[in-house]
Amino acid sequence: MRCLVGCLGLLLVFVAQGLAQDEVELVTVDDCVRLALAGNRRVNAAREQAESARQSATETGTRRWPRVSTSATYARIEGAEEGSLLAGGGAGAAGFGSAGGAGAFSPSGGIEEYSSAGVSVTEPLADQVGLGYQLKIARLEAAIAAMEQASAENAVGFAARQAYYRALTFEKTAESVTQTITELESTLKLVRSLKEAGRVLQRDVNKADIAVERAKLGLLRAQNALRSATSSLRDVLGLELDAPIAPAPTEAVEPFELTLDECIATAHAGRPDLRASQLGYEAARRGVGLARSAYVPSVGASVSYEWQDTDLTASEDSVTYGLSWSWDLWDWGGRRAAVRSAKAVQRAAYLAYRDARNQVALEVERLWLTLGVARQTIAVAKKDWDYATENVRVSREKYEAGTLLITDLLDDQTQLNDARIAYYVAIYEYAIALADLRRAMGER
């Protein structure tokens, strides 16, 4: 008996854990944006690309500093024959580092040793001009990658809001259809009672019954659409497709009072992809300077210190200074063509930037006008819902009084369902339009 009670207790614990795991987490639209920015694969890829560009700029900056290199060699021969030549890579030698020194001549057998070490510093002097332009371009490319990351975050933030409101739309649609089914079933019950009283014909019962079945079919479609929309929401957020999550119900209508000129000005100032286009033009300008730097002679300087020690000679130190000069006097117009090509790239980048500004303004204007229509649609849909509710009440009274056909009553109930759904669609379409406009303005 105790064993049975224990098993039942464990079973209840497992059932409770399973129910807890099946609990659906309700998320707000801000939660969705936060989760999307943290887990969306597109955002994470853009973030890694931006980090790669930043590290590349850092690596480019290190090329301007002197290069310090070291080398060391050690060799040992045991039982060397008389007259053997001891060198860094000879038979029986053990060495490390780079081979260096001229070696040592062994006049007699025994153990011979040779070692050397050195350090050198090399600095490309005249290449500083070209390296300076390369560093500026690399930093601009890192800034462009950061803007592309911000643009991806804006796009994903909008996608999260859109998926959130789409899921809410189908959730409200399913709720409305469920309410309509209840209303139609009430009408069917009324029609059947009137049929039993001999006041209506069987065809009225049939029409009311088929109306209920059609509404149930509509509910199934709405539930399927809700499930698909919720899966899309999970995908945007970077969650597993079976993660227990659902949008928190809301019917809030956020106000928006900015004028069209204010929206365009905000977009021109803060739109990440537009800023990236501007930085691309700046990088193209630096590209012209980089191409011109090929006309500068190549000058380099170096200094090195070397220490040697052998069994035949005393330790020796040496310091070497070097200066190199290289200048291409004639390259058959290659540098001039490179400069002309860089100037063409600069002009193309400027035109692309100007075109991007115009396209942003056009997009913002279109979305601003769309938002105005969506705002008015909410008021119209609410009034239509109120009228449809009153029509159903009056039609039901008339049908009970025998002054209205069953088809008219069913049509009014269908229109009430459509009006109810249209109202919620208008609310969420407005929210999506507002999110899209803010994305176009450079906001999340």
Confidence of residue 311 (pLDDT cuts 50, 70, 90): low
Span 381-437, pLDDT tens digits: 999 999 999 999 999 999 999 999 999 999 999 999 999 999 999 999 999 999 999
CA of 188: how far to CAs of 194, 201, 207, 395, in Å? 10, 13, 9, 14
For 78, which DSSP code? E
The whole-number pLDDT of residue 384 equals 97
The whole-number pLDDT of residue 206 equals 95
- Euclidean distance between CA atoms 204 and 192, whole angstroms: 8
Pairing status of strand 111-124 against strand 25-27 = unpaired
Strand ranges for 9-139 from DSSP E:
25-27, 67-78, 84-86, 104-106, 111-124
Percent of all residues in the chain with a pLDDT value above 90, rounded to a whole number: 50
- CB contact at 8 A, 433 and 378: no
| Residue tagged 């707000």 (tokens) | 28
- Euclidean distance between CA atoms 363 and 155, whole angstroms: 14
Name the residue ranges covered by the structural domains of the chain. Answer: 22-68+123-299+330-440
Q: Who contacts 40 (Cβ-Cβ below 8 Å, separation ≥6)?
A: 156, 160, 236, 237, 238
For 297, which DSSP code? P
Task: Indicate the pTM of the whole model.
Answer: 0.76
Spatial CA neighbour of 180 closest among 425, 420, 355: 420
Spatial CA neighbour of 220 closest among 275, 263, 177, 284: 177
Span 270-309, pLDDT tens digits: 899 999 999 999 989 988 888 887 777 776 667 776 767 6
- Euclidean distance between CA atoms 127 and 295, whole angstroms: 11
- CB contact at 8 A, 332 and 409: no
- Euclidean distance between CA atoms 216 and 222, whole angstroms: 10
Percent of all residues in the chain with a pLDDT value above 70, rounded to a whole number: 79
| Burial of residue 299, with CB atoms counted within 10 A of its CB: 0-12 exposed, 13-18 middle, 19 or more buried | middle
Question: Tokens in use for 146?
Answer: 């950061």
Span 312-354, pLDDT tens digits: 566 667 777 777 767 777 778 888 888 899 899 999 999 999 9
Give buried/exposed letters for 130-156 (b at 16+ CB in 10 A, else e): bbbbbbbbbbbbbbbbbbbbbbbbbbb
Average pLDDT over residues 144-164: 92
Span 249-269, pLDDT tens digits: 888 899 999 999 999 999 999
- Euclidean distance between CA atoms 442 and 438, whole angstroms: 6
| Burial of residue 54, with CB atoms counted within 10 A of its CB: 0-12 exposed, 13-18 middle, 19 or more buried | middle
Confidence of residue 223 (pLDDT cuts 50, 70, 90): very high
- Euclidean distance between CA atoms 89 and 292, whole angstroms: 46
Q: In what helix (H) or strand (E) does residue 62 lie, and over which residues does it extend?
A: helix 41-62
Average pLDDT over residues 155-176: 95
| Burial of residue 80, with CB atoms counted within 10 A of its CB: 0-12 exposed, 13-18 middle, 19 or more buried | buried
Name the fold adopted by 22-68+123-299+330-440: Outer membrane efflux proteins (OEP) (1.20.1600)
- Would you give the distance in Å from CA 355 to the centre of its chain? 24
Query: Mean pLDDT score of the chain, rounded to an integer?
Result: 82
Give the amino acid at 121.
Answer: V
